[in-house]
A and B are shown apart, each in its own frame.
Chain A
Amino acid sequence: MRNKKITRRELLRNLSLATLAGISFPFLSCTKEEKEDFLQKHFREMTTDEKKRLIAKWEQRYQQKYGKKFVISTQEALPNTLWGYGLDLSRCIGCRRCVYACANENNNSRQNPQLHWIRVIRLKKGTLINLENSEHYYDPKQVPEPGFMYMPVQCQHCENPPCVKVCPVHATWKEPDGLVVVDYNWCIGCRYCIAACPYKGRVFNWAEPKLPPEEVNPEVHYLGNRPRMKCAVDKCTFCIQRIREGRYPACVEACPTGTRKFGNLLDPKSEIRYIIENKRVLRLKEDLNTEPKFYYFFEA
């Protein structure tokens, strides 16, 4: 047996060739789309030009998939805005109109998985604090039921969001206007954020979302209601695609009792500021120091 001595140069060459082959193998074995998606940059690190190309790519893809002309907005946060939400607990009757209006507006998966961003919980009157004993599968013939109150819970858009803190890849962050958003393509699906959220504000696409093409809403925001993919986490964005244009969120428009209020916390004339100044407000689980921007209030 010949004791062949491998030179340093040969070793390095062979090693690097092997590494190159190893790296390129997955790229040769996947489709062009998957390759593009894998190499796509983090949304916040893209230049304007890259964003433009990205939008064109996704618009084309969505058109192919759903047969509708999509308009994907990347509108940035408006200056001097901090979005806040108000919800009147003495007025909510638990009719769930908001739940379905939200799912329709935001292109949520309809069945298997059925993903809702709003969860209306039912509490016995006098047990507001006792969230553990709440029920959100209630199904009576008519609401409101005597002796119960209803409390819709959705993403609270915390100023100090635990979900953002735990994300290992920075796929979720707080925008300058206070919205907590997700880059669905950057998300790796580890669901740490779901575990960290004390409000159950996030849901997970356990399977390829099922969204009938005729029910698709083609006016979308890249960080909001564009159709998601399997293994992405999504959540309420206060309808980022609407509010950055000055429109009320879909849940506000759907509520038949006028329970839901929305506005800019930095604008002293806004509805939400009126509520904070004139009503008795509470924030959910204040003791956790998450500083939610979602204010529940009562009629005096």
Chain B
Amino acid sequence: MVGRYTVAQMTARLNRVILLFLILLGANDPALAIETSQEFPVPPPPFSEGMFPCSDCHASMEVNPKRRELKEAHEDIVLHHGETMRWCLDCHYAKNRDQLRLYNGELIGYEQSYRLCGECHGNVFNDWKAGIHGKRSGYFTQGKRTYLLCAHCHNPHDPKFKPMKPEPSPHRPMDKQHAK
């Protein structure tokens, strides 16, 4: 009976089998069930210019876990984010600075930093995943919308949203000064 199938039909059947296999695999394996970065398409992380990859400098440096005033580099960073209980290496992985470290020891890239933020800010993380916290752009149909990383709006070292200058107020009806 195989002879009755065309090549296209065979390919379609094969694809379906592979897809089913992948779905079953994902359901069984918790590691695969975790959100991948593809599920939340994000633009590249907002690195300061010339900073990344961090290992360019850090690979050859000795690790110094002590809390101190930074003098040789990163002087611009003032930690204002739970600073009494946190220091650089709580989030940045000591042995490879190009990666971040979760509580469970898992290493992630900067493009998945939302998972690190989500470890403390669980409620916000849930809202973010649902598309409620934070800005979305592009197409609102599932899968096509673009997310922003937490760090695109909140400086991770000083996350409070900064005040900004408002756009000009609308003209009052009697305003003649704007007449042109």
Contact = CB atoms under 8 A, between A and B. Distances in A.
Interface in B147-166: 148, 153, 161, 163-166
A138 interface: yes
A284 B90 CA distance: 45
A248 B170 contact: no
A7 interface: no
Contacts of A22: none
A258 B131 CA distance: 10
A140 B170 contact: no
Contacts of B161: 93, 257
A246 B141 contact: yes
Contacts of B170: 99, 114, 116, 119, 136-137
Nearest to B175: A114
Contacts of B142: 269
Nearest to B144: A246
Interface string B122-140: 0100010011111111111
B178 interface: yes
B38 interface: no
Given A137-B172, A142-B163, A246-B144, A258 B135 contact: yes
Interface residues of B, number: 33
A95 B164 contact: yes
Contacts of B131: 261, 271, 274
Contacts of A274: 130-132
Interface residues of A, number: 43
B168 A139 contact: yes
Interface in A239-283: 243, 246-248, 252-253, 255-258, 261-263, 269-271, 274-275, 278-279
Contact of A95 (B123, B134, B135, B167): B167
A186 interface: no
B73 interface: no
B163 A144 contact: yes
B70 interface: no
B140 A112 contact: no
B4 interface: no
B169 interface: yes
Nearest to B172: A137
A97 interface: yes
B36 to A, nearest CB: 19
Contact of A261 (B132, B163, B169): B132
A247 B164 contact: no
Contacts of B123: 300
Interface in A133-191: 136-144
A49 to B, nearest CB: 32
Nearest to A97: B167
B180 A94 contact: no
Contacts of B167: 95-97, 99-100
Contacts of B138: 247-248
Contacts of A142: 163-166
Contact of B169 (A139, A257, A275): A139
Given A139-B168, A263-B140, A271-B136, 18 more contacts: A119-B170, A136-B170, A140-B166, A141-B165, A142-B164, A143-B165, A247-B138, A248-B137, A248-B138, A252-B136, A256-B164, A261-B131, A261-B136, A271-B130, A271-B132, A274-B131, A274-B132, A278-B132
